Amino acid sequence: MKNSIAFLIELRARLLKALIAWGIIAGIFTYFANTIYEGFALPILHQLTPHEHLIATAVTTPFFVPLESAIVASIYVCMPILLYQLWQFIFPALHRTEKKFIFYLILSGTFLFYIGTLFAYFIVLPMMFRFLAHFSPAHVSFMPDISTYFDFVTRMLLAFGFAFELPIIIITLIRLHILSLENCQQIRPYVIVGCFILGMLLTPPDVLSQTLLAVPMWGLFELGVFVAKKIS
C-alpha cells in the first residue's frame, strides 16, 4: 500500500513539473500569439495571389485561433520535457538493458516526430496549397477561413508526425516478438501498397504529392526493419 502511494506521489510530482513548464512556455507564447499564428499560416500565405487572403467568418475567430496556435506550439515545444519526466519516472523500475533500449526508443521517437512535422510543414503543406490554390474554378476566389485552415494544418502535422513513428513501431513489435523479421519480409508488398494508399488519402490527387508521402513511409518501414535486424 505504501509503495502504491509513493508511486502515485512520484507520478503526480513528475506530471506537475511538466505542467508547470508547459504553463510558463504557454504564457510566454500567448503574448506572441499573432506572430505564432502567422508562422502556421506561412505555407498557404506564400501560395495566395495579391487578391486572395485568409478570412475570419466568426466574430471571435481572430482572437481564439491565434490563442489556440500559441497553445499548440507550446505543447509542441514542451513535448521533450514531458517525455523526460516520464523517463525519470519509469527509470528506477527498469533493468539495465531495458533502460538503454527505452531511452534510445524515446529519443528516436521524439526526433522522428519532429522530423515528420517539419517535413509536412516545409514540403507537403506548401505543395498541397500550391495545388489547391490553382485548382479553384473560374470566378471563385481562394480565401480559406483561418479556423478551418488551422484545424487542417494541425491535423496534417500530427498525421505526419505519427506516421514517421513507423520505425519505432516496427522495432518495438520485433523486440516484443509480436512481429518477426520474416514477417516483415512477407508483408513488405502490402506495406508498400498501404503507403501509397495513405499518400493518396492524405495528399492532393497528383502523383508527386502522393509519392512524397508514400516513399518516405516506405523508407521508414525499411529503416525500422534494418535497425531491428542490427539490434536483435
Residue 5, pLDDT > 80, answer no
pLDDT > 70: percent of the chain:
95
d(C-alpha 223, C-alpha 184), whole Å: 12
Residue 50, pLDDT > 60, answer yes
Residue type, 124: V
Residue 86: predicted pLDDT: 84
Of 4 and 153, which is predicted with more confidence? Answer: 153
d(C-alpha 26, C-alpha 214), whole Å: 34
Residue 205: predicted pLDDT: 66
Q: What average pLDDT does range 50-77 have in this prediction? A: 91
Residue spans per domain, the chain: 2-164
Residue 40: predicted pLDDT: 95
Give the DSSP letter string of 76-92: HHHHHHHHHHHHHHHGG
Instruction: Give the mean pLDDT of the chain.
Output: 86
Q: Which helix (H) or strand (E) holds 65?
A: helix 61-90
Residue 147, pLDDT > 60, answer yes
pLDDT interval class at 1 (50, 70, 90): low
Residue 51: predicted pLDDT: 80
Residue 3, pLDDT > 80, answer no
d(C-alpha 71, C-alpha 86), whole Å: 21
Residue 2: predicted pLDDT: 56
Reported as a single tens digit per residue, the pLDDT across 33-46 is: 999 999 999 999 88
Total-model pTM? 0.86
pLDDT interval class at 83 (50, 70, 90): confident
d(C-alpha 226, C-alpha 155), whole Å: 30
d(C-alpha 159, C-alpha 202), whole Å: 9
Backbone angles phi and psi of 55, in degrees to 5: -130, 165
Residue 36: predicted pLDDT: 96
Give the DSSP letter string of 142-163: ---BHHHHHHHHHHHHHHHHHH
